Chains A and B, each alone.
Chain A
Amino acid sequence: MSDVAAAQPRRSLWARYTTSSPIVVTFYALVLGLIVGAVIISTTTPAVLDAWRALFHSWNGLPHAINITFDNVGAAYRAMFTGSIVDPQTFWHSLLSGKGWPNTLTPISETFTYATPLIIVSIGVGIAFQTGLFNIGANGQAVIGGIAGAAFGSMVHMPTVLHLPLTLAAGIAGGMICGAVPGLLKAYTGAHEVIVTLMFNYVTYAFLLFAVLSTPFQQPGQQNDIGRTMDPSAILAPLFGTTSGLRVSYGVVVAALVVVFAWWLIDRSSLGFDFRVTGANPSAARASGINAKTIIVTVFLISGGLAGLAGVVQVASTTHYIDGGFLIGEAGIGFTAITVALLGRNRPFGIVWASLLFAALGVGGRNMQAITGIPLDLATVIQSAIVLFVATPVLVKEIFRLRNAPTIGVQLATTGWGT
């Protein structure tokens, strides 16, 4: 809470960077993740390996080996940066000439396009985490949300002012229904939510294939697994107009609203307080009159609803139709959401940053693959390494010799010794 931060004495800048706090640890985890990526690039690029191998014959090649290592790693990360955020050269050009802005802004637009549904679904997963519930089925809920939204957006016709909100609502409803099942099972029969949600993913994939191959929803005149295309009145239009060529859509507005809603829910609302109490200490929650069953079902409705919303935002802002591969494999944002929520420490704003980071690594990775030939999988390696380091704060603190944050009060220092 902000009061605590304010109560602490002001510290020097240096102290701030060398004292462990969640944010500092996350930052260093990012650095370590990039270092791991650099090592992998060096050890898998033939040119670099050859240069180092040459050292067995003569040490004269050492500067060359070092150079070529940094060149390759640098090229890869430069491609990642220019592909996901901005290319400084075209940026200067646009700034000076006022031309070519769409081109310059495409990378960042793509990053936001990928991050938008990820933010929404991750917040849903994060809310469940904070309540001590593991929603591993967010991906399936997003699939159902996507189907519901795509169906409503393509098979019902009405003006935008009604159509778009109702399409989004259909997605939320789809996700809610899909989330309610594990919630109800957990609350009333004790079925473990991890198993149920995980298995439910497969049910939704099967349903997706069934839906896109069945007559009412399948694209007319198609034999393949493709659904109907949504009406223009139901889609999330590009934020800067269709002519700009930038894909970033009004979905970011939806995501922003979700962030504000989640912040209110977790930090400000009585319901969110009940969620957090339940997550932190279920026994105390019960003794304080919180009804665990209601909380479990409510959390799964919210978490599932947000996942469903993410699904419909994904369809309505990019392809405008779904196919049999919707959110499958690499595109499974519901699974990425679990790591994003972890990285963002389940906090709405933390999740925004984590989603943008993951989206940037993914989008930039594609550019890196195109330019340097280093496989896109490296981006996944870096993402995973970062999460791994975030999950092991002790290791990060040890590597960077971070000092522990001053403890609040004297008692903390002593209780650990069982006085």
Chain B
Amino acid sequence: MQLELRGITKRFGSFTANDQISLKVEPGQIHSLLGENGAGKSTLMNVLFGLLRPDEGEILIDGVVTSIDDSGVAVRHGIGMVHQHFMLVPVFTVAENVVLGFEPTKSLNRINYRQATDDIRHLSREFNLEVDPDAIIENLPVGLQQRVEIIKALSHDAELLILDEPTAVLTPQEIDALMEIMRSLAAAGKSILFITHKLKEVRAIADVITIIRQGHVVGTAEPTASEAELASMMVGRAVNLTVEKSPFHAGEDVLEIRDLVVLDDRGLIAVNGVSLDVRAGEVVALAGVQGNGQTEFVEAIVGMRKVQSGTITLRGRDITNLTPRQALDAGLGHIPEDRQRDGLVLSMSVADNLVLNTPRRVPFARHGTRNFSAISENASRLVQEFDIRTTSIQAPASSLSGGNQQKVIVARELSRSLEILIASQPTRGLDVGSIEYVHRQIVEHRNQGGGSLIVSSELDEVMALGDRIAVMYEGKISGIVNPSTSRESIGLLMAGTEMEPSGV
């Protein structure tokens, strides 16, 4: 199917989310829509899928002007959408989810599950989308759930698939698998609109790249364009993708962890005898595929999870099994993995969030009464210093973009006097500009002699930031290596191949 958008404009009040956007998707083409968070990508897709009405412009399907009033019309015209957050019923089977709303029936209105299952098997074979039609959704890994969404769209005879940030929730292996699927779909003549802000993926898969920024199309690019070129078009200025670091001068040990054992929520051993040191002026990056105990490891250090055995020492002081409050007061800074769950109170103001874990410290409060002028001053200073884009320091944190929300947390933690910064997935889900910014702040902290422990499942981040890279596999450190080590070797460690610590 050929799809053309001409001059699509969508306004929300005085804010123009899409301004005269035109683009053309050819049959069998993977067309990438690249833009930062908040650039207007999802708005455009919602217009295309009939969830929003454009204020101006027209949509042409195979050269015919078509008005798409609701998603039903979109589906009838062969447009399928895979949302960023899946629209599946967790307790239903794959087959039940796929036929939901369009159930094939036998006599007496009974659902024909056999036909549904057969259809799924057929689609699976045709497009390499292996999945068991009888599996219950909630038991499937995220990557397979996404496959179900794709099958669902295909079962409605979609000729054009919209994939909205499909890789945000996937592991590297799942991303590879998804790309294979996208290629086979394109080979079968389906058109794909692939929405993302990840440059690597775009370059790997796209046939054509359209870049939008602040609601405008700023240009198109070939997949051969360099990441730096794409990034600068997307952000509107040159972006430094590598992290510049001064030579590394490690000081004395700040954080010493010895034989740490921590259990997960089910009571199983998640961290199994980990020993790790972090020195002053050093960034230790903890790499590893998600779910190998990193989360529990960090929670144990910051006092949110009980340590079974082993010790944690901060500048010679035993901080094992302190409460989160005591850990904070001891000088631990923590950028949590899930910023909206653990790092912020979204309904509260930016100013309140900036003192979230120090509300009782002078000058923010005296004798139990909060001092609003000090809190506001602090907020104004940090908003300026850390370039937090907000309309007001009293605006709720929910009104900020993801990148700026993360900046609030980074600002809050780095503005306290820290002995060590512990950051979990500090740039997950952030756009290029914000990633660059957060990395710079972490390096700045390091250059001033602070210790940092960065946990990340992004290999690029680990290699860019780490002065030493520790790799975690199944609750153990499988190796500690130099950042000059090849990606392949680190990949092997992540897969569990043991290696003698190289003593760096």
Contact surface of A with B, Cβ cutoff 8 Å = 1, 3-4, 7, 264, 268-271, 273-274, 276-277, 280-281, 283-291, 406-415, 417-419
| Min CB–CB distance A291 → chain B (angstroms) | 7
Instruction: Report if A289-B46 is in contact (Cβ < 8 Å); known contacts: A264-B369, A408-B395, A414-B15.
Output: no
**Contact flag A273-B352 (CB < 8 Å), given A7-B394, A286-B324, A418-B42:** yes
The 4 A-B pairs at the shortest CB distance, nearest first, are namely A289-B325, A409-B391, A413-B12, A288-B357
With a CB–CB cut-off of 8 A, which chain A residues contact B359? 270, 273-274
**Smallest beta-carbon distance B504→chain A, Å:** 32
Once the chains are docked, how many angstroms separate the CA of A320 from the CA of B46?
Answer: 66
Tell which of A269, A280, A289, A412 touches B324, judged by Cβ atoms closer than 8 Å. A289
Distance, CA A289 to CA B342, complexed state (A): 11
Indicate whether B390 reaches chain A with its CB closer than 8 angstroms: yes
The main secondary structure of chain B at its interface with chain A is: loop
Q: Is B392 an interface residue (CB 8 A)?
A: yes
Q: In residues 382-410 of chain B, which contact A (Cβ within 8 Å)?
A: 390-396, 398-401
- Chain B residues contacting A276 (CB-CB under 8 Å) are 345, 348
List, in ascending order, chain B residues with CB within 8 A of A417's CB. Answer: 17, 42-43, 46, 52
Are A277 and B399 in contact, CB atoms less than 8 angstroms apart?
Answer: no
Q: Find out whether the CB atom of B52 lies under 8 angstroms from the CB atom of A411.
A: no
- With A283-B342, A287-B304, A406-B13 already in contact, the answer to whether A419 and B42 are too (CB < 8 A) is yes
Is B360 engaged at the interface, CB distance under 8 Å to the other chain?
Answer: yes
- Give Cα A412–Cα B336 distance, bound, in whole angstroms: 24
Residue from the list B43, B52, B325, B345 in contact with A281, Cβ < 8 A: B345
Q: Can you give 20 contacting A-B residue pairs, CB < 8 Å? A: A3-B394, A269-B370, A283-B341, A284-B342, A284-B345, A285-B345, A286-B304, A286-B342, A287-B324, A287-B334, A289-B324, A289-B325, A289-B326, A409-B390, A409-B391, A409-B395, A414-B12, A415-B399, A417-B46, A419-B37
Interchain nearest-CB distance for A196 vs B (Å): 25
- Identify B370's interface contact among A4, A273, A284, A419, CB under 8 A: A273
Docked Cα-Cα span, A406 to B46, in Å, equals 23
For the complex, is B39 an interface residue (Cβ under 8 Å from A)? yes
B218 CB, min distance to chain A CBs, angstroms? 16
- Give Cα distance in the complex from A410 to B395, angstroms: 11
Cα distance A287–B357 when bound, in Å? 8
A159 to B29, CA, bound (A): 91
In the bound assembly, the distance between CA atoms of A333 and B469 in angstroms comes to 63
Minimum CB–CB distance from A348 to chain B (whole Å) comes to 16
> Which one of A274, A289, A408, A419 contacts B391 once the chains associate, using CB atoms below 8 Å?
A408
Most buried by A among B304, B341, B347, B370: B370
Residues in chain B near residue A270, CB distance under 8 A: 359-360, 365, 368-370
Bound Cα distance A413, B43 (Å): 10
Out of A264, A408, A418, name the residue touching B392 (CB < 8 Å): A408
Docked CA distance A4–B396 (Å)? 10
B396 contacts A287, CB within 8 Å?
no
Is B199 in contact with chain A by the CB < 8 A criterion? Answer: no
A3 to B350, CA, bound (A): 13
B43: nearest chain-A partner, CB-CB: A417
Q: Which residues of B contact A407 (CB under 8 A)?
A: 13, 399
Complex interface: chain B residues within 8 A of A291 (CB): 323, 325
Chain A at the B interface: SS class: helix
Decide: B17 and A414 in contact? CB cutoff 8 A. yes
Distance A284 CA – B342 CA, assembled complex (angstroms):
4
Given the interface pairs A273-B352, A418-B84, the reply to whether A3 lies near B392 with Cβ below 8 Å is yes
Asked if residues A284 and B343 are in contact (CB atoms below 8 Å), the reply is yes
A-chain residues with CB within 8 Å of residue B392 when the two chains form the complex: 3-4, 7, 408-409
Min CB–CB distance A418 → chain B (angstroms): 5
Q: Which residues of A contact B325 (CB under 8 A)?
A: 289-291
**In this complex, what residue of B is CB-closest to A281?**
B345
Residues of B near A415 (CB, < 8 A) are: 398-399, 401
Q: With A7-B394, A412-B399, A419-B37 known to touch, is A289 a contact of B328 (CB < 8 Å)?
A: yes
- Write the chain B residue with the least CB distance to A273: B359
Q: What chain B residues lie within 8 Å of A269 (beta carbons)?
A: 368-370
- Residues on B with C-beta less than 8 A from A284 are 341-345, 356
Per the bound structure, the CA–CA distance linking A195 and B39 in Å amounts to: 48
Also in contact, A411 and B38, with CB within 8 A (given A280-B347, A418-B164): yes
Are A4 and B345 also in contact (CB < 8 A) when A273-B352, A288-B356 are? no
Asked if A280 meets B348 with Cβ closer than 8 Å, knowing A3-B394, A286-B324, A419-B37, the reply is: yes
Residues of A with C-beta under 8 A to B83: 418
Q: Mark B30-51, 1 if CB is under 8 A from A, else 0.
A: 0000000111111100100000
Question: What distance in Å separates the Cβ of A263 from its nearest Cβ neighbour in chain B?
Answer: 12
Is A287 within 8 A of B399, CB to CB? no
Of residues A274, A276, A413, which shows the largest number of chain B Cβ atoms within 10 Å of its Cβ?
A: A413
Decide: B401 and A281 in contact? CB cutoff 8 A: no
Additional A-B contact list (13), CB under 8 Å, known A283-B341, A417-B46: A3-B393, A7-B392, A268-B369, A270-B369, A270-B370, A277-B348, A284-B341, A284-B356, A286-B342, A288-B356, A289-B324, A413-B12, A418-B164
B368: chain A residues at CB < 8 Å are: 269-271
B-chain residues with CB within 8 Å of residue A406 when the two chains form the complex: 13
Contacts of A409 in B (CB 8 A): 390-392, 395, 399
Chain B residue contacts of A414, Cβ below 8 A? 12, 15, 17, 38, 40, 43
Measured CA separation A411–B327 after assembly (Å): 34
| A416 nearest in chain B by CB position | B12
Query: How far, in angstroms, from A276 to B356 measured CA to CA in the complex?
Result: 11
Q: Does the CB pair B400–A411 fall under 8 Å? A: yes
Which partner residue on chain B sits nearest A2 by CB separation?
A: B394
CA distance A410 to B16 in the complex (A): 9
CA distance A406 to B344 in the complex (A): 24
With A7-B394, A281-B344, A284-B341 given, is the CB distance from A419 to B39 under 8 Å? yes
Q: B23 interface residue, CB < 8 Å from A?
A: no
A264 to B327, CA, bound (A): 29
Q: Does B349 contact A (CB under 8 A)?
A: yes
| Cα(A284)–Cα(B356), bound, Å | 9
Q: How far does the alpha carbon of A88 sit from the alpha carbon of B38 in the complex, in Å?
A: 59
Bound Cα distance A302, B330 (Å): 31
Q: Does B276 contact A (CB under 8 A)?
A: no
B357 / chain A contacts, CB cutoff of 8 Å:
287-289
A419 & B343 in contact (Cβ 8 Å cutoff): no
CB distance from B179 to the nearest CB of A (A): 22
A192 to chain B, nearest CB (A): 20
Among A4, A280, A419, contact of B38 (Cβ-Cβ < 8 Å): A419
* Contact partners of A280 in chain B: CB under 8 A: 345-348
How distant is the Cα of A288 from the Cα of B326 in the complex, in angstroms? Answer: 10
Closest to A7 in B: B392
Query: In the bound complex, do residue A281 and residue B346 qualify as a contact, i.e. CB atoms below 8 Å apart?
Result: yes
Cβ of A101 to closest chain B Cβ, rounded Å: 41
Residues on B with C-beta less than 8 A from A287 are 302, 304, 324, 334, 336, 342-343, 357
Please name the residue on chain A nearest to B329 by beta carbon: A289
B487 contacts A by Cβ under 8 Å:
no
- Please tell me if B122 contacts chain A, counting CB pairs below 8 Å: no
